[in-house]
Amino acid sequence: MDVLRPKILNIDGRQYRLNTADCPNEYDEPVKPKTDKAEIQMHNIETSERLPSYVERDDIEEEESDDLNIYMEGDRCVLKLEAPNIFYGLIIGRNRENLKNLEYQTRTRIKIPNTRENNIITIKGEQRAHVITAKSKIDAIIKRGRLKQSMTHFVSLPMVNSIVIDNYLAFKKMVLDECGQCHGVNELLFQNQFKLHLTITCFVLCNAAEIKRAIKLMEQCENTVIRPMNLKSLDVLVSGLDYMNDDPSEVNVLYAKVESPEIQMLADKIQTFFQDCDLALQPRNNHVKLHVTLMNSGFYDYQVSVNGNSGKKTQLTFDARKIFEKFNDYTFGTVQLSDIHLSQRHTTDSNGFYKSSFVLKL
């Protein structure tokens, strides 16, 4: 290709210069000529997703200001990148095609350790900008892969005391006695009485290093977000019922309502903090939904799998209409919040609550 007259790629009204490093190589499938207008448009979209973004010099200099530990090894720039080995398969790809294309597009050499070694990926390139681009692409692959993983940890506010537990157990018994014949309603749907909690945000932490980082961020959040709020009222009333979806006859999650402007502000600020740290996703309506889960079809699925009945038909929803008719205004009690936990999913501590990687006292 003539570098003085590069090809121009048109995508959504914008024009992009097609560099030599962006051109299809021996690992790409041969491209058939497109004749239909819609087909050409779709091809352009797919091509734009496959090709690396054009990097301006100013962008590179901005990234270089970051504290990247890039050093020289002979005439090569080297960067050691720590990454969970669960994502190595996505980076390498079938027959190493993803890795080969990544190296070709960024003009680097990338060493992926095997799963029994450390979690350090080594990137080498002639230019610092090439190494930074390779790192950015690997980070993007890991970020996409993380979205497909089940959450491992969550920031929680325990909502348990003797009164709430007693009222919850009474509620559970009445529901099973009076609504047990409703579609899908059974004991496996109910939350453990010692694990009642408010969830603020959820994380996918894949190794010890990521857990350690989350703990450090919890400490930072305490000092920069929580303490400056000078929280006064930490008494929270748990009363009333609601559900997640639109149809009360096909419910996935039934929960107790919590209304506290101060706790809502606290939860939103904590969520925003971890969102800015690229550890949490943005909630659907820009606010944390304060709720204490009481019944969840996911609990049923988990208990079935734990009991070794993985082949049993999955229960997707349950009919909550009668539950709402009888217990819509049920009051569980008031909880005085005392701490915030970084809780580990699917675990149980000696007190019956989830095991915690970190506990922050309010």
pLDDT for the residue numbered 225: 96
Residue from 211, 231, 220, 265 nearest 339 by CA: 231
pLDDT for position 114:
85
Q: pLDDT digit string (tens) for 202-221? A: 999 999 999 999 999 999 99
Could you tell me the CATH superfamily of domain 57-147?
A: K Homology domain, type 1 (3.30.1370.10)
pLDDT over 60 (residue 141):
yes
The Cα 142–Cα 145 span in angstroms is: 5
Could you tell me the CA-to-CA distances from 252 to 193, 293, 316, 331 in Å, in that order? 19, 11, 7, 21
Report which of 149, 294, 253 is spatially closest to residue 210, judged by C-alpha positions.
149
Token match 């390139």: residue?
A: 125
According to the per-residue pLDDT averaged within each range, which of 25-34, 38-47, 67-76, 186-195 is highest? 186-195
DSSP state of 192: P
Residue 189 tokens read as: 């749907």
User: How far apart, in whole angstroms, are the C-alpha atoms of residue 296 and residue 255?
Assistant: 9
CB 153 within 8 A of CB 344: yes
Q: What per-residue confidence (pLDDT) applies to 300?
A: 76
Q: List the one residue out of 150, 155, 156 whose CA is nearest residue 206.
A: 150
Quote the pLDDT of residue 302.
Answer: 66
Residue 27 confidence class, pLDDT cut points 50, 70, 90: very low
User: Which CATH code fits 153-361?
Assistant: 3.90.1140.10
**DSSP letters along 142-183, please?**
HHHHHHTSPP-EEEEEE---HHHHHHHHHHHHHHHHHHTTST
Could you state, in order of their start, the residue ranges of all structural domains in the chain?
Answer: 7-50, 57-147, 153-361
Q: Given the structure tokens 């939904």, which residue do they identify?
A: 289
What is the Cα–Cα distance from 179 to 306, expressed in whole angstroms? Answer: 26
Looking at residue 298, its pLDDT comes to 86
**Picking from 40-49, 77-86, 115-124, which range would have the lowest pLDDT averaged per residue?**
40-49
Checking if the pLDDT of 147 tops 70, the result is yes
Q: What does the pLDDT look like over 287-332, one tens digit per residue?
A: 999 999 999 998 877 666 666 655 555 667 999 999 999 999 999 9
CA distance 261 to 290: 10
CA distances from 118 to 96, 114, 143 (A): 20, 8, 20
Q: What is the CA radius of gyration of the chain?
A: 26
For residue 193, give the nearest of 356, 359, 355, 353 by alpha carbon: 353
| 326 contact partners, CB below 8 Å, separation of at least 6 | 174, 178, 179
* Residue 14, pLDDT above cutoff 80: no
Q: Which two tokens stand for residue 199?
A: 């969830």
- State the Cα–Cα distance between residues 245 and 254, nearest whole angstrom: 9
At which residue do the structure tokens 């079935």 appear? 304
> What is the average pLDDT score of the chain?
85
Q: Percentage of residues in the chain with pLDDT exceeding 70?
A: 77
> Among residues 149, 168, 170, which one has the least CA distance to residue 159?
168
The CA–CA distances, whole Å, from 56 to 17, 45, 65, 68, 336 equal 11, 21, 15, 19, 54
71-79: list long-range contacts, CB under 8 Å, 24+ apart: 73/124, 75/126, 76/124, 76/125, 76/126, 77/124, 77/125, 77/126, 77/127, 77/128, 77/130, 77/131, 78/122, 78/123, 78/124, 78/131, 79/122, 79/123, 79/131, 79/132, 79/135
